[in-house]
Structure 1
Amino acid sequence: MADAWGIEEYYDDVEGRRHRVSPDTVAALREVIGTPPQDGDGRDDPQTLVRRRGDRVGPAELVLEDGAELRIGDVLPPDLPFGYHILRRGGEETAHRLIVGPGRCHLPGRRAWGWAAQLYATRSRDSWGIGDLADLGRLARWAADECRAGFLLVNPLHATAPVAPIQASPYFPASRRFRNPVYLRVEEVPGAGRAGADLQEAAARGRELNRRRHIDRDAVWRLKLAALEAIWRCAPPGPEFDQWRARQGDGLREFATWCTLAEQYGGNWRIWPQEYRHPAGPAVGRFAREHADRVRFHAWLQWLTERQLTENASGVTLIQDLPVGVDPGGADAWSWQDLLAQGVSVGAPADEFNTEGQDWGLPPFVPWKLRRAGYRPFADSIRATVAAAGGLRIDHVMGLFRLWWVPSGAGAGQGAYVRYPAADLLDIVALESHRAGALVIGEDLGTVEPGVRETLAEYGVLSYRLLWFEQDDPATWPEHAMAAVTTHDLPTVAGLWDGSDLEAQRRLGLEPNEESSGAVRRRLARGGGLDAGAGGEEAVLAAHQLMARAPSVLLSATLDDALAEPERPNIPGADDQRPNWCLALPVPLEELQSAPLPRKLAAVLAEPRARPRDGREPGGEAP
């Protein structure tokens, strides 16, 4: 049970052992959270009401999202449009934000499989040192036409600070509302042809970066930024861009202003001159007016990125990833600093693969402040991430219920869980899923408290099941789930099978759980019929044949495994010792498309499966 601040004073670890949180931790978190207000009768206290059709709200007047006005009786009518409305009750002096949704996410209509790709790592010969949105389009066409894949799951494509050093981790974004222009294919920008020889020279230098296995984002961005600036000067955008920019409103203006300030003062707003540290300050407005052309330039980069993403996401369902939080020095934290907890970060307690726990360095929203803000930051982040996509994967979906807060200066294991209004947040996820026609997957891995998976299922959020974590026969896994062998944070099949992943962790001075890793390897050998002399490719095929026994509506395989790559994209806790999130695939996209193992893997996963045990096709609506 949580206290009045939402803090749980006890928690159970992955082994089921109960621990009491340190009183010092509780006191530190209470101070950060502040005193949550008590909901009054609403007369002078604007509230956020998250409701369903048919719910009782009392006689009221509604101003609907489209501006229409409606008088209602005691309950919300059955044909009330889903959306974000304003509610006013008679005798009250204030209006309330009313959020009305379907209560259930869009569901996939049929079983499908797909590739899980780190886009930055998926380079073609035409890339400028990093996989880009044109590469995404090529990958999508190959996946759909030649592999019979139904979806692509890609790493977060969210924005980072536009200055060196460029943040490598896709899960540490400056903003979850805007995208990273480093993924632009510069040659396909409108007006690029006018840049002439300068662009050709930049492209040649960019392609030269493909010779390095490790991605140098700083070098990539220097080249791309200079080329984009040249296009901006010789081929400025027309009215179509200005109309788009006007529709985006204050959010884009504020983000573009932050980018411009970051170029002047660095990518961490917390060390800027004091007058620029809050977006509402008068100095920020003056700065934006004085640098209007550069602010407009950064807005243009967002327009280009949206266009290229939309153009290259067609033909296959694109599932985008939503990180747990944002860079504390980034754009969203600047905009929403009054709602974020200062002096704490989120992470996870110890589990079988991370024995010391994890501190992700991301600041959490204070739950009561988020609700007072009408959940706008959360809704905006969900909406932006499902745009141009057919699906959403919510990283660490348990964070909608509770998050592990770690006080500054404490070890990752010295935190406590803080509860969130899960029902409200899930209703918003369902609303945005319904509007976008996007399926939702919840990454429910690690320590999952009782009842969470059942609640997610009620909302139509698909579970996420991994061969590395599950000890049961995949044939017993749930239908409403995405099944996979591994993720970006866990060993690849080849790395687990040949022991190189464990050796890498030892070399980095980490403390891997060798017993658990050995048990997973033995399960793979036994279930996949592998002998000790089997090679990496044999292990990859065996692992995916085993996983494909699952009746789950979605199956996925990583491109790393499609190439029997032993190194994984990320080893948690090793950012200072290893180039996490910087390892390109060992071959360019052109060679991936013609390699034999991806085709064999695709054949395994595309093979029709028997109907579920109850005889029904899994899923619901057509995708």
Structure 2
Amino acid sequence: MTRTPTTDEWGIDATWLDAFDEEHEVDQATIDRLREVIGRPPADLEDRAPIVALPGDALEVDEAEVTLEDGSTRHVDGELDDDFPLGYHWLQAPGGHRRRLIVTPGRCWLPERSWGWAVQLYATRGRDSWGIGDLADLRAVREMAAAQGAGFVLVNPLHAVAPTPRQEASPYLPATRRFRNPIYLRVSEVPGASAVEVDEDAGRALSDGELIDRDAVWARKREVLRRVFDTTGRDDPAFPDWWWHQGQKLQDWATWCALADRHGPDWRAWPEPLQDPRSEDVGRFVAEHERDVAFHAWLQWALQLQLERATEGMTVIQDLPIGVDGGGADAWTWQGVLARGVNVGAPPDAFNGQGQDWGSPPLVPWRLRLTGYEPFVESIRATIAGAGGLRIDHVMGLFRLWWVPAGGTAADGAYVRYPAEDLLGIVALESARARALVVGEDLGTVEEGVREAMAEHGVLSYRLLWFEDDAPAAWPAEAMAAVTTHDLPTVAGLWSGADLAEQREQGTGTDAELERGRTELLGRLTGAPKKAGSGTAVRRAHEALATAPSLLLSATLEDAVADERRPNMPGTTGRPNWSLPLPVPVEDLPQHELLREVARTLADGVRGGGPAAG
């Protein structure tokens, strides 16, 4: 029996279901607090909010003039023509508000069936890397994947963090979802690098440590990059032309970076006149620090050039985090749309009895609608740009998000609803325009109707050997199939018991819970002998995966080299999450025998020939 929660006009659900299908009531104090944060939507919201429609759809207005993206106009009488152009238009009804009309194909672009590698780029270092995997290393992985017959590479979020000395380690808490992290630049390949003296040995020495030291890497890279910019940054006319075409959004980003250099990474702690991006004080700052602002814009240009080389000829699926740092650039630019005094997270569940607080402020749904969905559009478009694929982290957030009021625990939150049909329509439009596939990370507790809506819009589901009760052969076709993710044990770590030992050390569960979980997961490795080595377990897991009929088959580099340590262990603070380098240099990956076997197995699975022989 389906239970539909009562949702008030603020979009807050009065109840929620846990992982055991048990219903809970939200405390009235929580509801009152969230209503205060959200604010009452204006009475004429539905007359001002954008319309998202398909060609041929009936509209909620009898007649209107539509100004198309190309500047031409069309008259509509109650419905759109079947050949109405896709895109972002403006609709004006007689006596009504001017509002955005977003015309979408309704379904995302879908590729041919293929397999590929999931890559934590920061961890995938080469011998010439400066302490961290970079875009030249991504190019090397792409070249390897292409030679093996792969169709895609999936990378961790590449979004930028604050440019300050202390670097945020988590790729899932960026300062922006619209610009990339310059720590991923290969310094020797930026325009003008040959004009300055660069101590490559000192840079390579940053890889000598057991962990990735982002602070040291960024300090070294930034110093050299600034010297390159100061020496040659304005010599190439392509840069100012590119900068001009990026418009206000890049100007805002570069300005925020220059301000963060002087006042710290959290705009909420800056002098009050600088907290408004459009203030006269900000304008004066830009005029006085024009070269500093230009430097941060130039870094984005260099990133664009290197990403184009890294992704040439192959789909690179980029990951979109669920939110941004509340003190970061996107929050500064869109502070009137983001909620203050709350973070997004997850309610208590079978894996985390306390719930989770992810540290990102949510977009207020009605305020987002009144922007014409622009913050969402820009984030989707920028993450897809030039790479051919998008993975949406926690795709359930397009439908509802768990809001956690400040000062309380994650268990004190409530679900707030979002206009999912509109957001999925926008994703489909951006996907179709970029010819980019879209994967939705629908792991964990998934509300009824979410996967059906994803399928309707061509958003691929995400299926894991660790989580599914059914054998891979019974998994859906419109999905990305994998063994594990960055948040879960590697096959080798699970098989050897190293991951269980580390979980015990970190206190992430009781011995009984952990041992039970390990036993259940091992049972999904299709019967490898208990005394077999980790390599055998890796082979068996991917032989099972290769039987899935899913559109995309994905394997992690960690599994392919039998690494025992997962990139991230949720709920831990003393562990070096997101800072563990891959134990095999990128140059040696093509010759790694186990990796080659995994590649052959998945390639045979895609070709329909079944798993490769040992």
TM-score w.r.t. length of structure 2: 0.95
Sequence identity (%)? 56
Q: Residue 38 of structure 1: CA displacement?
A: 2.9
Write the letter of the residue equivalent to 1:352: A
Write the letter of the residue equivalent to 2:184: Y
Determine the structure 2 residue equivalent to 1:232: 229
Determine the structure 1 residue equivalent to 2:405: 407
CA distance in 2, matches of 1:62, 1:563: 56
Determine the structure 2 residue equivalent to 1:132: 134
Determine the structure 1 residue equivalent to 2:98: 95
CA distance in 1, matches of 2:227, 2:156: 29
Structure 2 CA distance for partners of 1:609 and 1:114, relative to 1, 3 Å? closer
Determine the structure 1 residue equivalent to 2:612: none
Q: Is this contact kept in 2: 1:186–1:192, CA < 8 A?
A: yes
Q: Is this contact kept in 1: 2:52–2:102, CA < 8 A?
A: yes
Q: Residue 517 of structure 1: CA displacement?
A: 5.7
Q: Residue 523 of structure 1: CA displacement?
A: 5.1
Instruction: Tell me if 1:601 matches 2:602.
Output: no
Instruction: Tell me if 1:442 matches 2:440.
Output: yes
Q: Is this contact kept in 1: 2:11–2:418, CA < 8 A?
A: yes
Pairing of 1:30-429 with structure 2 (within 5 A):
30-39=35-44, 42=47, 46-57=48-59, 58-92=62-96, 94-109=97-112, 111-145=113-147, 147-195=148-196, 198-199=197-198, 201=199, 203-237=200-234, 238-429=236-427
Determine the structure 2 residue equivalent to 1:529: 527
| Long gaps (5+) in structure 2 | 610-614
CA distance in 2, matches of 1:374, 1:368: 10
Structure 2 CA distance for partners of 1:327 and 1:539, relative to 1, 3 Å? same
Write the letter of the residue equivalent to 1:446: G
Determine the structure 2 residue equivalent to 1:619: none
| Long gaps (5+) in structure 1 | 613-623
Q: Residue 513 of structure 1: CA displacement?
A: 7.9
Write the letter of the residue equivalent to 1:285: G
Structure 2 CA distance for partners of 1:276 and 1:406, relative to 1, 3 Å? same
Pairing of 1:538-577 with structure 2 (within 5 A):
538-574=536-572, 576-577=573-574
Q: Residue 172 of structure 1: CA displacement?
A: 0.3
CA distance in 1, matches of 2:159, 2:512: 35
Write the letter of the residue equivalent to 2:465: L
Q: Is this contact kept in 1: 2:140–2:587, CA < 8 A?
A: no
Q: Is this contact kept in 1: 2:16–2:24, CA < 8 A?
A: yes
| Aligned length in residues | 601
Structure 2 CA distance for partners of 1:516 and 1:510, relative to 1, 3 Å? closer
CA distance in 2, matches of 1:117, 1:266: 31
Q: Is this contact kept in 1: 2:159–2:171, CA < 8 A?
A: yes
Write the letter of the residue equivalent to 1:463: S
Q: Is this contact kept in 1: 2:478–2:550, CA < 8 A?
A: yes
Determine the structure 2 residue equivalent to 1:454: 452
**What are the Cα deviations for residues 113-156 of structure 1, in whole angstroms up to 9, with x where unaligned?**
110000000000010100000110011001110x2211100000
Instruction: Tell me if 1:582 matches 2:573.
Output: no
TM-score w.r.t. length of structure 1: 0.94
**What are the Cα deviations for residues 330-363 of structure 1, in whole angstroms up to 9, with x where unaligned?**
0001101111111111111233333332110110
Q: Is this contact kept in 1: 2:488–2:566, CA < 8 A?
A: yes
Structure 2 CA distance for partners of 1:587 and 1:34, relative to 1, 3 Å? same
CA distance in 2, matches of 1:39, 1:531: 66
Write the letter of the residue equivalent to 1:66: D
Instruction: Tell me if 1:22 matches 2:27.
Output: yes
Superposition RMSD on alpha carbons, in Å?
A: 1.6
Pairing of 1:460-479 with structure 2 (within 5 A):
460-479=458-477
Write the letter of the residue equivalent to 1:38: A
Q: Is this contact kept in 1: 2:88–2:100, CA < 8 A?
A: yes
Q: Is this contact kept in 1: 2:504–2:511, CA < 8 A?
A: no
Determine the structure 2 residue equivalent to 1:618: none
Aligned partner of residue 488 in structure 1, secondary structure: coil
**What are the Cα deviations for residues 565-593 of structure 1, in whole angstroms up to 9, with x where unaligned?**
1111111121x311111111112112222
Q: Is this contact kept in 2: 1:153–1:320, CA < 8 A?
A: yes
Q: Is this contact kept in 1: 2:172–2:321, CA < 8 A?
A: yes
CA distance in 1, matches of 2:485, 2:86: 35
CA distance in 2, matches of 1:544, 1:414: 40
Q: Is this contact kept in 1: 2:233–2:298, CA < 8 A?
A: no
Q: Is this contact kept in 1: 2:163–2:261, CA < 8 A?
A: yes
CA distance in 1, matches of 2:524, 2:556: 22
CA distance in 2, matches of 1:427, 1:513: 45
Pairing of 1:489-508 with structure 2 (within 5 A):
489-508=487-506
Q: Residue 532 of structure 1: CA displacement?
A: 1.9
Q: Is this contact kept in 2: 1:394–1:443, CA < 8 A?
A: yes
Q: Residue 40 of structure 1: CA displacement?
A: 6.1
CA distance in 1, matches of 2:157, 2:485: 14
Q: Is this contact kept in 2: 1:505–1:512, CA < 8 A?
A: no
Structure 2 CA distance for partners of 1:608 and 1:560, relative to 1, 3 Å? closer
Give the counterpart of 1:3 among 3, 8, 28: 8
CA distance in 2, matches of 1:493, 1:523: 9
Instruction: Tell me if 1:12 matches 2:31.
Output: no
CA distance in 2, matches of 1:37, 1:611: 56
Q: Is this contact kept in 2: 1:189–1:304, CA < 8 A?
A: yes
Structure 2 CA distance for partners of 1:608 and 1:506, relative to 1, 3 Å? closer
Q: Is this contact kept in 2: 1:353–1:513, CA < 8 A?
A: no
Bigger shift: residues 236-245 or 210-219: 236-245
Q: Residue 528 of structure 1: CA displacement?
A: 1.8
